[in-house]
Amino acid sequence: MTYGLRRFEGYGALVTGGARGIGEAVTRRLAAEGARVLIADLDEEAGRRTAEDIEGAESIRCDVTDRAQVEAAVAYAAERFGTLDVLVNNAFACSEDAPLLEDQSDELWNRDLDVVLTGAFRCARAAMPLLARSGRGAVVNIGSVNAEADFGNHAYSAAKAGLASFTRTLAGDAAARGVRVNQINPGTIRTSAWAGKDPVLEALGRGAYPLGRVGEPEDIAGAVAFLASADAGWITGATLRVDGGLLAVNRHFPALIAAAESGAGG
């Protein structure tokens, strides 16, 4: 897909978890609009393949739970691009809940928080001096509707809710340095995490989403490009739902009332 907008000419960007799914779509969108993008991903081979397929993209292995690797990735981006203007915190970890809370392990709980929340902190900490120096710095954190409502996954949901809070506090801290910080909360997105489950996604789209479908990675990439660009130059500390209306509209409540009234009338 090509885009008429070229909002990121001369920009340098770093996308964590950029090798596939939402991260890959974000990388493609920013690069298509003129940015040079560093994919920082734990899967070195997948990052390399994705970068080879996108003009203006490069890749580096990066574990966001390792401060040294995060700082090395940021330094590499600055060296290669001469600037770092956009940071997209997209690294992902989501552990399955144990059947009972008392069976949940510390290890899985800590893993989700370390990747999703503390990983974003590590990346922002390393990148902030460069983002401030650019004069147009922007951080976009990829959250989830799990931060706002119960869709399961205790640790992942807590991490995403914490990320929303960090987005607000970092926005306040970074504003004086000219850096904007915002978050996107996606609903269900068709990624490899749902591989082989197309019937489930179709049922979710029809039954849960007012717009009649689940999201595509490109839906999130478009929102990231907006928040990272000068078009959002007076937006900071915001959380933008990109969820097909999932949280705004309760499709089941009116149907339950209608069914109950129909049964009572019969």
Where residue 109 falls (left for φ over 0; alpha for ψ -120 to 50; beta otherwise) is alpha
Cα–Cα distance measured from residue 24 to residue 241, given in angstroms and rounded to the nearest whole number:
20
3-state secondary structure 190-233: CCHHHCCCHHHHHHHHHHHCCCCCCECHHHHHHHHHHHHCHHHC
Terminal Cα-to-Cα distance of the chain (whole angstroms) = 54
Residue 30: both structure tokens together: 């920013």
Where do runs of H (alpha helix) occur along the chain?
Answer: 21-32, 44-52, 67-81, 106-113, 119-134, 154-174, 198-208, 217-228, 252-265
Is 197 one of the catalytic residues?
no
Residue 156 falls in the annotated catalytic set? yes
HSE, CB side, 13 Å, CA atoms: give it for residue 162.
16
3, 11, 76, 160: which is the annotated catalytic residue? 160
**Residue located via tokens 């991490």:** 159
Nearest CA to 163 out of 95, 89, 229, 94 is that of 89
What's the DSSP call for residue 118? I
Q: Which of 3, 11, 76, 156 is catalytic?
A: 156
Contacts of 41-49 spanning 24+ positions with Cβ under 8 A: 41/16, 41/17, 42/17, 42/91, 43/19, 46/19, 46/20, 47/18, 47/19, 49/19
Catalytic machinery residues? 156, 160
